[in-house]
Structure 1
Amino acid sequence: MYIRTNVMALNILNNLYAHNNQISKSMERLSTGYRINRAADDAAGLAISENMRYQINGLNQASRNIQDGISLIQTAEGAMQEIHAMIQRMGVLANQSANGTYSDADRVKLQLEFAQLKEEINHIAGKTNFNGIKLLNGDLTLPGQGLIIQAGSGADDHIIFDMPNILDAVAGIAGLDISTAVGAGAAMGALEGAVDDVSTGRAKLGAYQNRLEHRYNSVVNMSINLSSAESRIRDADMAEEMMLLVKSQMLAQVSVAMLAQANMMPRNILKLLEAL
């Protein structure tokens, strides 16, 4: 005589499979730190998480772009600061040469320093660069290309700055000569205009830097919040997974013990029937 189907054992075996499956999932999640390790774990959650990751990666790169932009502007502003200082010195020399207490020989000596300052101003205005990109020679001045900063994760999240053309602004001082009192007087007026042009350019750069610093703070804040939201979707709750692992391991152990008991039941029933 045979009892062909042990329903109780089958039920226990199914439960054991379920517990072992949960143990495998919990161990994988605990080892990777992710609740979603493949699309089958949560198809919709995976799609949302990947879209968020794309935005987060874009925002993180945008924050680096903005920092590079700030460094570029600081480089340009530092060069313009030196130009300002040299123009100021040239103004002093021109004022000195225009004074009637100086002889022509004195003015020639003043002109020597004046000429060197002119040359250096033109050099700085034409050669100042950041990563090989010239900053003050008009290449980044609108309506031309301008300075483009990609400051977000979207294609249209960029800022275009009109960089000052300092090479053009100081072009008027190229022909100045203070070796005569008349020339010194003319130089004073031209230098005053150059100071004003450079001051305007520096003010623009200061405004650009302030804007970029505010944009940087905004981008970092968006990245942090998106990362937090993405983490809630994709990352595993370590405490919950540990609890599920321990629970499933205990249930699996009990199921193994109960399966052994269930497998004994048909034999016991047969023995009972044979004894009748």
Structure 2
Amino acid sequence: MSSVINTNLPALRIQQALASNHRALETAMGRLTTGQRVRSATDDAAGMAVGNRLASRIRGLDMAVRNANDGLSLLQTADSATQEMTAMLWRMKELAIQSANDTNSQSDRDALHTEFEALQTQLGAIVTNTEWNGSKILNGEAGASGLVKFQVGASSNDSFSVDLSSLDTGSVHDVMQSTVLISSQSDAISALIEIDDALTQLSSSRSTWGAASNRLVHAADNALNVSLNSNASRSRIMDADYAQTTADMARALILDQAGTAMLSQANHRPMLVLALLR
């Protein structure tokens, strides 16, 4: 083995190995400190790209779950209002049936009509004033002309609409008009037809909203499941494996200590050449 003093090749090689080992040690310590395997694109460019796409999708799905739950609350509010309206129409039907009976005097019919008119007014108040989150939802003002759109997924196609405008028109609207009376037998019989039509419309609307509510529940469950699976996938790519990373750090520490000791030995070699000159 030749002995030279101008270039200490063993020391240079050890320094190179130490520099590489220091980078590995810093990487391991950084991962253990942050809990992230991929902290920048230099750690894993492909993993960073996939992780960012998954993170974007997860945020979208989480918001979709919130949207679905908000939509469910809106429809439940509408259904509760129409449930009360249904009960009021039942009472109006009872009053109309009672008024249509010939055993009633005119004063009896007038008294029945007074209650009937109060119920008509309250029906209109429910349609006009029922709101969710500051928006009227039964009078056609909600959404686009009463058509409410629910975004229940991360994709632009993951949406559907529900019509909430029908109560401001049709039979429910007609039965609230002052022309619907029960102050005479003939009027009461005509009112029965209007009330039955209004009940049919309410039943149809509630069925539609019930189906939409079930769809929102399933959409929320699906978005939540996809979000959980996406989180698991992102974790496998982006998060640090503490067992593996701890072992990597321990290995890097041992190599660092050994390399430092070997560098001291390599730096001592030129001194052996000096000893030959004595």
Shorter-normalised TM range: over 0.9
Write the distance in 2 (CA, Å) between the matches of 1:48 and 1:79: 47
SS of the equivalent of 1:209 reads helix
Q: Letter of the aligned partner of 1:160 in structure 2?
A: S
Of residues 48-57 and 85-94 in structure 1, the stretch that sits farther from structure 2 once superposed is 48-57
Spell out the pairing of 1:224-239 with structure 2 (5 A cutoff). Answer: 224-239=228-243
Distance 1:141 1:91, change over 3 A: farther
> 1:124 aligns to what?
126
Deviation at 1:267, TM superposition (A): 0.8
The answer to whether the 8 Å contact 2:32/2:242 transfers is yes
In the alignment, does 2:156 pair up with 1:155? yes
- Matched letter for residue 125 of structure 1: V
Q: How far off its partner does 1:269 sit?
A: 3.8
- CA distance in 2: counterparts of 1:236 and 1:16, whole angstroms: 24
1:53-92 equivalence runs, <5 A: 53-92=55-94
Task: Write the distance in 2 (CA, Å) between the matches of 1:196 and 1:138.
Answer: 19
* 1:113 corresponds to: 115
Q: Distance in 2 between matches of 1:141 and 1:225?
A: 33
Matched residues in 2 for 1:195 and 1:24: separation?
73
| 1:198 Cα deviation from its structure 2 partner | 0.6
Unaligned 5+ segments in structure 2 are none
Q: String of CA shifts for 1:202-235, please: whole Å, max 9, x gaps.
A: 0000011011111111111111111111111111
Provide the C-alpha distance between the structure 2 equivalents of 1:70 and 1:164, rounded to a whole number of angstroms: 17
Match of 1:252 among 252, 256, 262: 256
Shift of 1:128: 1.5
- Please name the residue that 1:261 is paired with: 265
1:153-201 CA-partner distances (Å, limit 9, x unpaired): 1222221222351121312212222122222222112111111111011
Deviations 1:105-125 (A, max 9, x none): 122111111111100101111
4+ aligned runs moved over 6 Å, structure 1:
none
Tell me the equivalent position of 2:41: 39
Which residue in the other structure is 2:99 paired with? 97
Partners of 1:105 and 1:249 in 2: how far apart?
101
The residue type paired with residue 248 of structure 1 is A
Q: 3-state DSSP class of the match of 2:150?
A: strand
* C-alpha displacement of 1:126: 2.2
Deviations 1:53-112 (A, max 9, x none): 111111111111111111111111111111101001111111112222222212211111
Kept in 1, the 8 Å contact 2:10–2:266? The answer is yes
Secondary structure of 2:42's counterpart equals helix
Higher mean C-alpha displacement, 162-171 vs 231-240: 162-171
Provide the aligned C-alpha RMSD in A.
Answer: 1.8
- The size of the alignment, in residue pairs, is 273
Determine if contact 2:147/2:165 at 8 Å carries over to the other structure: no
TM superposition shift of 1:2? 6.4
Deviation at 1:141, TM superposition (A): 8.6
> C-alpha separation between the residues in 1 aligned to 2:122 and 2:274?
109
8 Å CA contact 1:164–1:201 kept in 2: the answer is no
Query: Is residue 274 from structure 1 mapped to residue 277 from structure 2 by the alignment?
Result: yes
